[in-house]
A = this chain, B = another copy of it.
Amino acid sequence: MISACKERRVARMAIPRQGSAAFPNRAAQRELKLEALYECAASAFTEKGFHGTSLDDIAAALGISKPALYRYVPNKQALLYRLHCLSLDAAEAAVTEGEASPADGIERLRVALHLYIRSLTASSSACLVLMEEGAMTGAENEAILARRRAFEGRFRKLVGDGVADGSIVPCDPKLAVFSVLGAGNWVSRWFRSGGACSGDDVARAMSRQLARGLASDPSRYPLE
């Protein structure tokens, strides 16, 4: 029986059948269990590190035995890779939406940052950004690193745009982006849903504060 990390049970029979029709909803069940597995693995990796987390740990948290995991994932490395991909999907979606925002550079940057930070608070799977990157090897590692570099490059471009249109004070885009993304990435280290602040509260406050640090006109971003 496979069940979710926290409380949500995803047991064999516990999942409501799709409609009442006798239909092959096994695929849907499988999907739900996969999600539970990813969420569980991601939070374990984030908490104890990739090498510090055994497949037995993950299996136990899900309420199944280790070999059962291998019905969902080919091996531990591939699991990590998949999680990194999910994480990057969310990150890229955030920056894409920021880029599309009809505003000047600083505001597009702030929107991207806001959405990025919110995505980090939304799901353990999205937090893998800060996992030991060295845990991955070979071509998959290269692929992840390349995507992350591209992601950062798009943020740098937003900063460059802002400097060009005068909404951001002249600065080194590389350092500026390391700062704001670093602050954002760190969120996954301390944020726990259910605390005093919602993920959206955090994303709002932090993106404003960080934008303020770069804006030519900081008064656009009062903190309270």
Contacts and interface: CB of A to CB of B under 8 A. Distances in A.
Interface of A: 47-52, 130, 132, 134-135, 169-172, 175-176, 178-187, 189-190, 197, 202, 205-206, 209-214, 218, 222-224
Given A182-B184, A186-B185, A135 B48 contact: yes
Contact of A209 (B176, B181, B190, B205): B176
B132 A172 contact: no
* Leading 9 A-B pairs by shortest Cβ distance: A182-B186, A213-B213, A51-B51, A51-B52, A183-B183, A171-B223, A49-B132, A182-B183, A218-B218
Question: How many chain copies?
Answer: 2
Given A212-B212, A222-B169, A205 B47 contact: no
Given A169-B224, A179-B209, 15 more contacts: A50-B52, A52-B134, A171-B224, A175-B197, A176-B209, A176-B223, A178-B183, A178-B187, A182-B183, A182-B185, A182-B187, A182-B189, A209-B214, A210-B213, A212-B218
Given A182-B184, A186-B181, A134 B175 contact: no
Nearest to A178: B190
